[in-house]
Structure 1
Amino acid sequence: MLLEMVPIDREIVGDLKAWRALGYVEHFAASPLRCAGEAMAAYRGLDQSHARSFDALCAAMDRLIYTATALLDEMPAEEDPGLIVDVASLSLRRLIARATAFINANGQGEAAYIDPNAVQADIDAVMAS
């Protein structure tokens, strides 16, 4: 992750600022992966509530990256970005694990239900650092 490289090279913040989130379908529509078509078809076949939950989880990851990037961009050069990077990376890894569980469960079961309070708690953790 670029985010985790910021303590080594602060210029990476510029790369993070240039990053733009894509929706799940948009990502796979532009992807050269062999499974891109199947991924888009699986997403389109989801129950509406499951799709909304997954989209909310993806949006939370995007907000977390944008928030961490903004905090790092505003941080004076003499300050250590390690705490922001550590908190944001841990939170992102948790969210990625939840998205992976959702995908591996084919959008079924408990993994499909994302607690919006837990998602907001991850974002709040970054803001508090």
Structure 2
Amino acid sequence: MTSPSAPPARPASKTAADHSARAALLRAANINPRTGLATDYLNHFNEAVMLLEMIPDMPECVEDFLTWKPLSYAEHFTASNFKARDLAIEAYNRADTGTRTDFDNITSAITSILSAVSDAMRKVQLDTTRTRLAQQATGWVKPLVMRAGGVINGEATNGNGAADVEYIMTH
């Protein structure tokens, strides 16, 4: 009687070929194969920033900004026309936990700022106050969007959003 044996190990070349094919698939879909994240999600925040930047010159744009609603990564892609939206969501779910946590912390901060500014703008009526709120929010959000883009593009962080030089040098 023979004992059941483990399934044969996959040859290293097959694993490397699978990894290479997946990376090519992700790259073709504009998803960073190293991080599993897509910059398309940042368009969601860039839209809000663009509206905020227009408020000082066109105060009526406040109404457009007030219709902006926060969306999670998956909600954004589910609602989008992004051709590889299912792949984007799946890649996000498979992304390194530390990278995804850094990314989620940054985008959560962006969402909190934009939501708070939206709430404040609903309470005030003066265009000058709304302009000031829009300018302050833009100053806070734009650097965070850039940091989120850095995480998407593989600029390693040390868990608090700061670059981790050791990680960068070894990967």
Above 0.5 in TM-score?
Answer: yes
Structure 1 residues 51 and 7, CA gap change in structure 2 (3 angstroms): same
Aligned-partner Cα distance in 1 for 2:139–2:96:
29
| Partner of residue 24 from structure 1, selected from 44, 63, 73 | 73
Alignment of 1:65-104 (within 5 A): 65-77=114-126, 79-104=128-153
| 2:159 is the counterpart of 1:113 | yes
Specify which structure has the bigger relative contact order, considering alpha-carbon pairs within 8 angstroms and separated by 6 or more residues: 1
Aligned-partner Cα distance in 1 for 2:138–2:125:
20
Aligned-partner Cα distance in 1 for 2:113–2:139:
11
For these two proteins, the number of residue pairs brought into alignment is: 112
* Identity between Structure 1 and Structure 2 (%): 27
Aligned-partner Cα distance in 1 for 2:140–2:87:
28
**If the length of structure 1 is used for normalisation, what is the TM-score?**
0.71
Computed over aligned residues only, the root mean square deviation of the Cα atoms, in angstroms, reads 2.2
Give, in angstroms, the shift of residue 2 of structure 1.
0.9
Long gaps (5+) in structure 2? 1-49, 162-171
8 Å contact kept, 1:7–1:80: no
Output the amino acid matched with 1:113: G
**If the length of structure 2 is used for normalisation, what is the TM-score?**
0.56
Partner SS, residue 99 of structure 1: helix
Give, in angstroms, the shift of residue 24 of structure 1.
0.4
Partner SS, residue 128 of structure 2: coil
8 Å contact kept, 1:57–1:114: no
Give, in angstroms, the shift of residue 78 of structure 1.
5.5
Alignment of 1:34-73 (within 5 A): 34-73=83-122
Range moving further from structure 2, 11-20 or 91-100 = 11-20
